[in-house]
Amino acid sequence: MQTFNSSPDDSAYKKLTFMREDTANSLVMIQASLLCYSFAGPPSPVLLDAESVRPDVALLLDTFFTVVIWRGATIAQWRKEGY
């Protein structure tokens, strides 16, 4: 695990968590998963690149310690209008 730009407490917590988790969760810590949600079909894994960012999709990045949700312009507008 890289410890650059992390406090000693944060590094120790992540290492301890890594050692206690099972293989599936450890793999998410090593390589985060990026899922694409759209109306075209079921959620699917996508690559972390510019082609994944489209106005009609929502992206969910799961890094085990943090979850980030990105909404395209169309999805964000629908959410703002209350759909």
Residues 20 and 43 in one domain: no
- The parent domain of residue 14 ranges over 1-29
- DSSP line for 14-83: HHHHHHHS-HHHHHHHHS-EEEEEETTEEEEE--SSGGG--TT-EEEEE-SS-EEEEE-HHHHHHHHHT-
> At residue 70, does pLDDT exceed 70?
yes
Assign 23 a pLDDT band (cuts: 50, 70, 90).
very high
Q: How far apart are CA 50 and CA 52, in angstroms?
A: 5
pLDDT at residue 22 above 90? yes
Task: Please indicate, yes or no, whether residues 59 and 39 belong to a single structural domain of this protein.
Answer: yes
Strand partners, 52: none
| pTM > 0.95 | no
Domains of the chain: total: 2
Say if residue 38 is in the same domain as residue 19. Answer: no
Residues 53 and 18 in one domain: no
- Considering the domain architecture, whether residues 8 and 46 belong to the same structural domain is answered as no
